[in-house]
Amino acid sequence: MNRIKLSNGEDLPLEMHKVKIVQKLELKPVEKRLEAIKEAGNNTFLLRNRDVFLDMLTDSGTNAMSDLQQAAMLTADDCYAGGESFFRLEAELKKVFNKKFFLPAHQGRACEHLLSRVMVKKGNIVPMNYHFTTTKAHIRLQGGDILEIPADEAFNTSSDALFKGNIDISKLKKAFKQHKGKIPFVRLEAGTNLIGGQPVSLQNIKEIHALCKQNNVPFVFDASLLQDNLFFMKTQEDSCKDKSILEICNEVADNVDIIYFSARKFGCARGGGICLNDEKLFSEIRQLVPLFEGFLTYGGMSDKEIEAIAVGIRESMDIDMISQGPQFIKFMTEELKKAGVPVVTPPGGLGCHLDAKAFLSHIDPENFQAGSLASAFYIISGVRGMERGTIAEERNKDGSECIAKIELLRLALPRRVFTMSQIKFTIDRIIWLHKNRDLIDGLEWEEEPEILRFFLGRLKPVNDWQERLVEKFKQDFDL
């Protein structure tokens, strides 16, 4: 474990890796950043990366790779069909998940597409702890809908509940009664992304498994953020304390029927796949892989990435490797909390999450608190975060805005990428912004796409607040 004590008693997360390859960064002047965010329609997805100092948009496909992953990429058996790289990944997945079949896909949402297309029918309801944007979109595209039944604590942003990602078992029981015959599967997401990377417990998985079995409904597990979740099981769940990460992972897998993952997160490379035992379902999905993804032994991934995923998954069974993310996030969250900044607690995986509802309580939710915070924070720091709130929702059926249950600015910490001084810089700028939060105002739509609007939508400030924020920043930092 890479948490040590300094002689002054301070707890410090210590990196158990060293940097061997670097990319030069540039911190552009604040005026340039204001220009860049305006050009991007106040949408951090639309910024050019050259205008970004620290890219905390996501951990998806941006984790640092190890030397062994890079080395494995050179051994890729590049070919269209039957490549050894595929069989090496398949063997690695067998060790961690122990399912009979593996179907490759180019990334996580492709798995969601394949599963929804085969399993979801019009009028179906999919109970889950919480949705991920692409999951919900694919289920709805098939005419189904989702039912979110997390524990009540899930939406309490300042909590000390350890497994806020858990499904509320009594609500799941009720759902089985209420929607009998309409539930194609139950979905549980590890490291629940949109509520702040919050973990699920092994105990909860076992309880869901038993209920699914009783009701003869498959249990689907989204393992994209499993790496962080395994860390939390090992360190916070009594029954896991004496088990190895691999043993915990095996036990998780034994208690779910279908596992899919984004290897942009799990495996620290780029790709995805589905692991399952059900031969009938496997045959049905298998036919679609060459149609939508690519031939069965690459599924839209390059053989080099397939090799990197295989090694990345093996490395994810190492506590030193998987503790880096959660420990850096904990450090950042605790420092911000000490300074009075509203952050999601307990700290989860994936990134540090600012509670934009509390941070910008003076802004009307219809003017997008998290979106406004993302824009303001980029302007004053060059750090790119991601809005995870109302902009990431879809409008209600009557056309009104669907105000998100929680409004978060997610500052993702891709694994092993940032140094402690970069984290300290980020913390400092957040604290400055919090002190000057009254200068921030809202955003409104300029261009609103119909599907997954957060990716490509453009917004504009409701007045000249951004210019005023820049002025204050320049004054305070003598620029």
Catalytic residues: 80, 132-133, 222, 265, 388, 454
343 or 363: CB nearest ligand F0G: 343
Question: Is 60 a residue that touches ligand F0G (CB under 6 A)?
Answer: yes
Instruction: Pick between residue 267 and residue 346 the one whose CB is nearest to ligand F0G.
Output: 267
Contact set for ligand F0G, span 186-215 (CB under 6 A): 189, 193
Which of 51, 90, 148, 222 is close enough to bind ligand F0G by CB under 6 A?
Answer: 222
Please name the amino acid found at residue 422: Q
Single out the residue of 272, 273, 294, 299 in contact with ligand F0G (rule: CB under 6 A).
Answer: 272
Name the residue number minimizing CB distance to ligand F0G. Answer: 108
**Does residue 293 belong to the site contacting ligand F0G (CB under 6 A)?**
no
Stretch that binds ligand F0G, among 26-34, 82-90, 217-225, 232-240 (CB under 6 A): 217-225
The yes or no reply on residue 353 touching ligand F0G (CB under 6 A) is: no
228 binds ligand F0G (CB under 6 A): no
Q: Which is nearer to ligand F0G, 264 or 415 (CB)?
A: 264
User: 137 vs 439, which CB is nearer to ligand F0G?
Assistant: 137
CA atoms of 193 and 415, how far apart (whole Å) = 15
CB of 183 to ligand F0G, least distance (A): 20
Size of the site for ligand F0G (CB under 6 A): 15
Least distance from ligand F0G to the Cβ atom of residue 60, Å = 4
> Which is nearer to ligand F0G, 189 or 335 (by Cβ)?
189
Residue closer to ligand F0G by CB (options 109, 164) is 109
292 binds ligand F0G (CB under 6 A): no
Nearer to ligand F0G, 136 or 330 (CB): 136
Please pick, from the candidates 42, 43, 44, 58, the single residue that binds ligand F0G as defined by CB under 6 A: 58
- The yes or no reply on residue 225 touching ligand F0G (CB under 6 A) is yes
264 binds ligand F0G (CB under 6 A): yes
42 near ligand F0G (CB under 6 A): no
415 binds ligand F0G (CB under 6 A): no
Scored b (16 or more CB within 10 A) or e, 9-21 reads: eeeebeeeeeeee
User: Binding marks (x or -) toward ligand F0G, 100..139, rule CB under 6 A?
Assistant: -------xxx----------------------x-x-----
Least distance (Å) between residue 151 CB and ligand F0G: 18
Under the rule (CB under 6 A), what is the footprint of ligand F0G? 58, 60, 107-109, 132, 134, 189, 193, 222, 224-225, 262, 264, 272
